Amino acid sequence: MIETQTYKQKLEEERKLLVQELSSVGVKQPRNPADWEAREEAPADTADIHVVADALEEVEERHGLTDTLEQRLADVTAALSRIEEGTYGTCEQCGKEIEKERLDANPAARTCTAHMA
């Protein structure tokens, strides 16, 4: 029997943090609240190629970070809805119970250790 209450708390805390981080690097898309777009400030008004290159690089980095955070947020949200549905802690691949150690390490895990991607 999995103690979902503990994991639920962890997941809710993580979700809060992720949303905070996403708000600082990304902009929530009004049409799809689950989709975040990296903030894009226009490169400084300058002809200096180095300044422009730096600004573009920063935008690239933010894109990557936004994607990572968005993916993580999706996993956490999915785990929370599995708690609501009463299916939390079962492997999406084989339907077996996910090892406690794995859930302790990652409460948002979708699969058992054998079916880790």
The answer to whether 115 contacts Zn ion (rule: CB under 5 A) is: yes
Q: Does 46 bind Zn ion (CB under 5 A)?
A: no
CA distance 17 to 40: 22
CB closer to Zn ion out of 9 and 113: 113
Q: Is there binding between residue 116 and Zn ion (CB under 5 A)?
A: no
Residue 102 binds Zn ion, judged by CB under 5 A: no
Contact between residue 10 and residue 107 where contact means Cβ atoms under 8 Å apart: yes
| Residue selected from 93, 97, 100, 116 as contacting Zn ion according to rule CB under 5 A | 93
Using CA atoms, how far residue 38 sits from 16, 19, 60, 76, 116, in Å, is 18, 13, 9, 20, 29
Q: Which residues bind Zn ion (CB under 5 A)?
A: 91, 93-94, 112, 115
